[in-house]
Structure 1
Amino acid sequence: MDEIKQKIALFIDADNAPASKFEKVLSEVAKYGLVTIRKAYGNWKSPTLKGWEELLHEYAIQPIQQYDLTKGKNASDIAMVIDAMDIMYTKEIDVMCFISSDSDFTPMVTRALAEGKVVLGFGERKTPSPFVNACSKFLYLDAPETEEAEKEPKPKNLKSDAKLINLLRQAIEATEDDEGWAALGPVGSNISNRTSFDCRNYGFKNLSSLFKEVDLFEL
């Protein structure tokens, strides 16, 4: 299927996502296709959702009311999962997008992947790793903007990030030629096929910039 024609369903956990970053989400999602379903879940009587409420009409988002059934908890999570499951099996959807910093949606993401869907995740850095890692791609909404990051000193602890270094090294080994060289394109594709990694979460525009900062590989 032509990528630009892919249909996307967007689910917003308004209780656990920043409304101020919604344009950033739409900009990223637009790379994958057309958003045909947009739903936001939460207790719309709560003043904490005022930011999202102001976006509903502007972006044609359907609000789904969920009252707080128990103090400190809300029913939005289960309602969102039920709707997502229903849409996944009854609508022609290619990409499912979840905006939340809550790990409760991890089983839903896993199921969607098993059904052959691309799953995009968006949330803050407090998002538990199981949800982040389960997505096809996950972008931190509170990650430093690449334009701003370029003006500031880059983080100096990348070399000590064993998980990151192992990921880069394994991708190189999987795509290198007989002389030990690997092209950035295949390296990036290998990483994307294995994890939700995105170099922008580290403050870099592209993989090349990140490799230069790591400074452990010959370019």
Structure 2
Amino acid sequence: MPEESHIALLIDADNCPAAKIEVILDELAKFGVTNIRRAYGNWKSTGLKSWEQVLHEYAIQPVQQFAYTKGKNATDSAMIIDAMDLLYTQKLDGFCLASSDSDFTPLVMRIRANGLKVFGFGEKKTPMPFVNACSKFLYLENLGMPDPASEKPDPAAQRKNAKDLKGDAKLVNMLRAGIEAAADDDGWAPLGAVGSHISNVSSFDPRNYGYRKLSDLISEIGLFETRKSSNHIYLRDKKATRKTGS
């Protein structure tokens, strides 16, 4: 049996809703065991009451950080110091930073430079430098999306339609680059290989666009041919097909 990956979860309690902790942990369980769980904040603040109610339930260690100077976020500094200590003193395979604060962008880049993955979780207000720096980033509004056939989803988690997807040049270029990198001589690329390539070069996740799976997003965007073979899905760029005439 392969050894489990070990992940350290560091939560900026001031910038992460406590109501999302269960879905965060569920998501991290796909990648390994979260054996270090810490939440940072001034626990004397009434604004963290919702977090106090879930700390024991999910075995999260509260780390007290007083606001030494008004207007300055001491929590960020405490998280950064702890992250660097953990990086050099613990045998970890990855970090998870739960925050919507871009101040952690240099930390993410430093951790990744050591060969570890960084999973980011934040709200849609999270600045793009932090989002792009992570190995994988998920918007909290898109986690725990209800079944489309049941209750109406949160408007913030509504999926983007084909027009919006096609108009996202960054997304389209990323998908085309992934297909090109994994394609055979006829231009067909396995969906799994495309997804792996994209994950290696970006923090992309289809749920950030309102789709549970990459195949659902591909189907909606309408720019790629698809075919199934032996339970595998293959993709080909329609644009490339028109050029070759095949």
What one-letter code is carried by the residue in structure 2 that aligns with 1:61? I
Residue 182 (structure 1) aligns with:
189
Alpha-carbon distance in structure 1 between the residues aligned to 2:68 and 2:171:
41
Residue 160 (structure 2) aligns with:
155
Alpha-carbon distance in structure 2 between the residues aligned to 1:154 and 1:17:
22
How far 1:59 moved relative to its partner?
1.1
CA RMSD of aligned residues (A): 1.7
Deviations 1:23-75 (A, max 9, x none): 01000111111111111100111111111111111111111111122323320
SS of match in other structure, 1:158: helix
Alpha-carbon distance in structure 2 between the residues aligned to 1:2 and 1:38:
23
Question: Does the CA contact (< 8 Å) of 2:23 and 2:143 recur in 1?
Answer: no
Is 2:200 aligned against 1:197?
no
Residue 238 (structure 2) aligns with:
none
**CA spacing shift, 1:7–1:131, aligned 2, 3 Å:** same
How far 1:198 moved relative to its partner?
0.3
Question: Does the CA contact (< 8 Å) of 1:145 and 1:203 recur in 2?
Answer: no
Is 2:161 aligned against 1:170?
no
How far 1:201 moved relative to its partner?
0.9
Alpha-carbon distance in structure 1 between the residues aligned to 2:37 and 2:159:
36
Q: Structure 1: which 5+ residue stretches go unaligned?
A: none
TM-score (norm 2): 0.84
SS of match in other structure, 2:76: helix
SS of match in other structure, 2:71: coil
Tell which has more relative contact order, 1 or 2 (C-alpha 8 A, sep 6+).
1
Residue 77 (structure 1) aligns with:
76
Identity %: 60
Residue 91 (structure 2) aligns with:
92
Residue 67 (structure 1) aligns with:
66
